[in-house]
Structure 1
Amino acid sequence: MFQNKLLYRRQFILGNRFINEFDGWQKLKVSKNLYLTVHSDLEMESCKKGSKSLTLLGYIIDPANPSYDNKEIITRIINKSNSFNDIMSLVYPYSGRWVLIYNDGLETKILHDPCGTRQVYYTFKENNMWCASQPSLLSEVFNNQRSTNQDLLEYINSETFFKNERQFYGDGTIYADIKQLLPNHYLDINSGQVNRYWVDFEKENDLDYIVRLSAELLQGSLKAIINRYNVMMPVTSGWDSRLLLASSKDFKNDIHYYVSNMNILSPKHRDIDIPLKLSKKLNFNFKVVNDLKPLSKEISMLIEKNVTLGRNYLPKSLTIQYHLENNQNKVNIGGNASGIVKLVYGSNHPKDIDGEYLAKLMGLSSYPFIVRTLNDWVKEIEPEVLESGLNIPDLFYWEQRMGNWGAMYQAEQDIAVEEFLPFNNRKLLMLLAKADEEYRSAPDYLLYEKIISDFWPEVLSEPFNPETLDERMKNTIKRIVPINLKRFIKRVIKV
């Protein structure tokens, strides 16, 4: 029996029987052949309408109706739906971190929040499809064998993989027979098939309209999460956290603002100095978390065990431990997912993009596993996806970067706190993507600046991500040195 409350905290497993090895876990029969075993700290709700049922794992937020709870939201969804296709459209305006399991007696289908931050992994065992929150949890039950693919092993055993915070790509895993459900895809339990879906109801590209509606969605999301939970919000010198800070003006007395120095940032670092100055100017409570304790052996082991490829060597792991000891009753509000619409990889790309091009963007074109995986991913992108205003690199950031690396830190934090990403809202992402690229581009991010001005213009009084002298020199070199020369220099250095 596993008795440690932190083991696989906020996780779940779904299959053709209950898992009895975990003490204190919740149990729910989804259908005559499907059984959920859920950690006691993961929220769960289920509702029915005739032969249909809808089960929620995690929490779901309605920005338009901030007072609604999980039960009210999923009840409204199922009452308005006649099919799973309806479900995919009805969840369009919702935020949160969730998995939904739909069953109508004939079919069972699973989808998750827009960025897949409540992850779903699946495998075929005991003549049935099994799903879980982590490959390591499935392997705990079934002793799955690790992949022997040499290209995969070359990549995950490389120093590059370690330095890149174990960023994985594709829908595979380190296990030969376990796959991941990526964002913008749903899983059909009966057939074992994964299908891409795409919902985009935004037609208006007027900037003022986008700014107004985006502001309403952000403010509604913050109001909803504050209605339910005790919350905290990190503030740095970056655009994402500054926009969320501005959005929170009306609720600033209900939020615990902070930044962690992770024992590596000096008091003069821009992510410490600038939010501290803002807090004094704008009169909001703000704490610099410093002098963090070394990571304990127990927490280090649990991060590694709870999350496949879990990173217990990162400075931010110390912040997770701090939250475990001080903030377990709080939900952390983060700015992740904003990068989907911020043209992180720029806008000047060739017409025909393949896996090798994307691998080069990430500096990983020397790894056959990466090139092949991204080639396969590009081939399954449907034309209507690119009509939304997103380019392939944007979608790459959404599905590959957020679906893997972005969701990974959320999973690691589950040992300590839940996280809420206001940008993890399909309606908001589609709306922002309609703005012209000039308003979504670095370094000025004029779209974000305009939203901030409408909310709390004084938030703009401090600079955004000001460069140090060393960074200015490096960035100048990047701009003036031709890309072919950069690649040549990298190859020489590598040799």
Structure 2
Amino acid sequence: MELNEKFLNNPFLLSDNEQSNISFLGSSKVLNDTIFHYSNDTQFYNLHLDDIEIILVGYILDIRDDSKNEDDILKKLAFAYKSSLDLFLNDYEYMNGRFVLILSSPNDTLLFSDATSMLPIFNYKNKYFSSHEIILKEYVKIALGIELNQYGFNMKNFLDYTNTKEIFSFNPNLMYSFRNNSFKRIFPRGNQKNLPLEYVIEKTEAYLKTQINWLNNHYDKIYLSLTGGFDSKVSLALVRPIIDKVFTFTYMYKFDENTNYEELGNFKKIYYKDNVIVNNLVENFRLNNHKYYFFSDYKAPAKYLQTLGKHVSSHHSYGLSYIINKEFDRSSSIHLKSTLYELAKLSFKDVNDDESILNDIKHWAPRELHGQKEILMNMFKEYKKRNYTDEIFNFGHNIQTMLYWEFRMGNWHSNITQETDFTIDTYILINNRYMIKQFISLNKKDKKEKSLLITIVKNNWPALNYFIANSFDTLEDRI
């Protein structure tokens, strides 16, 4: 298959072959235990410190200090690693961004992702790794002479599965050793805690502010999707100090004064309610940079949809991908997404048997497998082996919450970003292990009541709480 590099952002391949066998991956760097193949468009930073070399693909920031640049951050990580892996991992918890990090030393060459693999990594046989499933599939075909089979349906990025048999996604809470050809779990490293709301706010609030400063110093335009839900309201509250740089947008169906809400289907009811709530937010908070994008105004060409479908590993919203490709300016801009806040709301029962766990996550599986209990159980058991999932139990963490983090966000959501990343990059305010660790440690009562997120809005733009999320009501209606 001929690959279109335009649809492959930051492409790379890690293999033991001196040739990438992929036409546009024409440059390479030889590391101690693997070879890094990249293209002219791959954005990466290369650091040498004594006998340590670090390659960073993508962008990174330290949430503790927004003034640090890549050189500062990677030097600190390298010095920490020279002391011990534990010290390195302590610092690594504070790293946000969308990146892949390769650390090579005389002892080993290690591969890490950001906290949710937002810059995805795919692997074949625990030996070959790439930025894109399609690149890895083509490499295996050309270099190894093996034609990998596809599943007969879209796997929906369930667990660590891709649409290609034998190619798996990289779990963000694992690291990979090229010397040992094996994975190792790097989170959790401590026992689960049950933390009060006040403690979590105290330990995370300052790090939200440093990230807003970092965004302000690095970008001229910050695109923020605004909906009638609560999560986008949290992001909106946090960017209040730099609101003039924020360009909110809402993708929408067209409604008029004759539209009868009660006659709409459930799907369009969601959009109708979004329309009403977003209008209230735009008008009352003077969001002068807001824009609506109506699906009916953007008919994506068949060739665009076909090419995108062949190059990415998800099938979420190709229509939105086309809108963003047509309307967004990548120059000095970034897309601020409001995902991951769900981790401050999830409140699963604590169970330790596979059947109960699978029952809580099976709705994320492909529709074709919903009635296939035995197949799903076998898939889950194989996943657990590959990802050392049983180690999570040893630290007392809720397994379903960790699965949501590691595969729902670390495989499903991370691959969605590929649908738009060739137009604009993505940022998420809590995409670091330190903050996620605090959020998932909230007690169940505060999770169910969304206490942390409500407090974040209250502390940053309290009037936003006047409009009730996903409702036509306001606070006055609830009195």
**TM-score range for the pair, normalised by the shorter chain length:** 0.7 to 0.9
Aligned residue number for residue 132 of structure 2: 134
Q: Which shifted more, 320-329 or 113-122?
A: 320-329
Q: Which shifted more, 275-284 or 368-377?
A: 368-377
Q: Tell me if 1:401 matches 2:408.
A: yes
CA distance in 1, matches of 2:33, 2:278: 52
Name the CA shift for 1:335/1:104 in 2 (closer, same or farther; >3 Å). Answer: same
1:118-165 Cα deviation digits (max 9, x unpaired): 1111225xxx932101221112223243348xxxx4xx53xxx5xxxx
Q: Which shifted more, 286-295 or 429-438?
A: 286-295
Q: Tell me if 1:288 matches 2:287.
A: no
CA distance in 2, matches of 1:134, 1:258: 28
Name the CA shift for 1:71/1:368 in 2 (closer, same or farther; >3 Å). Answer: farther
C-alpha deviation, 1:427, in angstroms? 0.8
CA distance in 2, matches of 1:3, 1:401: 27
Matched letter for residue 130 of structure 1: Y
CA distance in 2, matches of 1:321, 1:52: 42
1:142-196 Cα deviation digits (max 9, x unpaired): 3243348xxxx4xx53xxx5xxxx4232334343442322121111122221222
Q: 1:88·1:199 contact (CA, 8 Å) conserved in 2?
A: no
Aligned residue number for residue 10 of structure 1: 10
Aligned residue number for residue 109 of structure 1: 110
How do residues 163-178 of structure 1 correspond to structure 2 at under 5 angstroms? 166-178=155-167
Aligned residue number for residue 74 of structure 1: 74
C-alpha deviation, 1:28, in angstroms? 4.2
Aligned residue number for residue 357 of structure 1: 359
Q: 1:183·1:403 contact (CA, 8 Å) conserved in 2?
A: yes
Aligned residue number for residue 20 of structure 2: 19
How do residues 470-489 of structure 1 correspond to structure 2 at under 5 angstroms? none
Name the CA shift for 1:70/1:40 in 2 (closer, same or farther; >3 Å). Answer: farther
Name the CA shift for 1:350/1:270 in 2 (closer, same or farther; >3 Å). Answer: same
CA distance in 1, matches of 2:231, 2:215: 18
CA distance in 2, matches of 1:54, 1:26: 20
Aligned residue number for residue 480 of structure 1: none
CA distance in 1, matches of 2:46, 2:246: 30
Aligned residue number for residue 483 of structure 1: none
1:411-458 Cα deviation digits (max 9, x unpaired): 2212322111112111111111222111111xx412211121111101
Name the CA shift for 1:28/1:266 in 2 (closer, same or farther; >3 Å). Answer: same
Name the CA shift for 1:172/1:335 in 2 (closer, same or farther; >3 Å). Answer: same
Aligned residue number for residue 195 of structure 2: 205
Q: 1:118·1:133 contact (CA, 8 Å) conserved in 2?
A: yes
Question: What is the root-mean-square deviation in Å for CA atoms of aligned residues?
Answer: 3.0
CA distance in 2, matches of 1:32, 1:387: 34
CA distance in 1, matches of 2:394, 2:225: 33
Structure 1 length-normalised TM: 0.80
Structure 2: gaps spanning 5 or more residues: 255-266, 474-479
Q: 2:158·2:407 contact (CA, 8 Å) conserved in 1?
A: yes
Q: 1:14·1:36 contact (CA, 8 Å) conserved in 2?
A: yes
Q: 2:140·2:147 contact (CA, 8 Å) conserved in 1?
A: no
Matched letter for residue 389 of structure 2: I
Aligned residue number for residue 96 of structure 1: 97
C-alpha deviation, 1:41, in angstroms? 4.1
Secondary structure of 1:275 counterpart: helix
Q: 2:189·2:395 contact (CA, 8 Å) conserved in 1?
A: no
Matched letter for residue 115 of structure 1: T
Q: 1:31·1:103 contact (CA, 8 Å) conserved in 2?
A: yes
Q: 1:96·1:421 contact (CA, 8 Å) conserved in 2?
A: yes
* Equivalent residue for 1:437, pick from 440, 444, 454: 444
Structure 1: gaps spanning 5 or more residues: 469-495
Name the CA shift for 1:33/1:427 in 2 (closer, same or farther; >3 Å). Answer: closer
Q: 1:265·1:272 contact (CA, 8 Å) conserved in 2?
A: no
Name the CA shift for 1:64/1:391 in 2 (closer, same or farther; >3 Å). Answer: same
Name the CA shift for 1:234/1:33 in 2 (closer, same or farther; >3 Å). Answer: same
Q: Tell me if 1:244 matches 2:245.
A: no
Q: 2:34·2:109 contact (CA, 8 Å) conserved in 1?
A: no
CA distance in 1, matches of 2:437, 2:240: 24
Using the aligned pairs only, state the percent identity: 17
C-alpha deviation, 1:210, in angstroms? 1.3
